[in-house]
Amino acid sequence: MKKIISLTLLFVLCLLLVACSEKEEPLTRVDVQQVNEEGNTGEVVMITDQEKINMISKSLKLVKWEPNTKVSMARKEDVFATLFYTYDENMPERLYEYRIWFNENETAEIISNNEKEGYGTLDKKDSQNLKNALLK
């Protein structure tokens, strides 16, 4: 009897652990606009393909963020992206805006309107993955 109770308790604890670890922000859509040198934006491209969304999400998790950092860039961003997160189907989506610069050395610099993020940088490999997901 003790063994059944122990196994049941272990099972319940494992379920709770798995349920709590699944609380990732569900990225559901990304709207992307390319920006030219004059600062004009192109048409909005909506990304809903789950593979691309996963790549964008993974890339943004690898950004080295510096919250509360004020930066001034010499040129307009290359890409303006709006990420749509759905936390609860009964609540409106939460939107975060990202201004992204792809540099000549193949890195990226990003400014987010999410106060937990702010200004961030991304290395060559992850920058290329993000660029491919956003622009192709």
Q: Is the dihedral of CA 128, 75, 34, 31 positive or negative?
A: positive
Q: Taking all residues of the chain, what is their mean pLDDT, rounded to a whole number? A: 85
| Average pLDDT over every residue of 74-78 | 93
The pair of three-digit structure tokens given for residue 33, joined into one six-digit string? 């606009």
pTM greater than the 0.75 cutoff:
yes
Residue 25 in contact with residue 87, Cβ under 8 Å? yes
Distance CA 20, CA 11 (A): 14
Distances from the Cα of 127 to the Cα of 17, 22, 51, 113, 124, angstroms: 33, 26, 17, 19, 5
**11-49 per-position pLDDT tens digit:** 544 455 544 444 556 999 999 999 988 778 889 999 999
pLDDT surpasses 70 at 57: yes
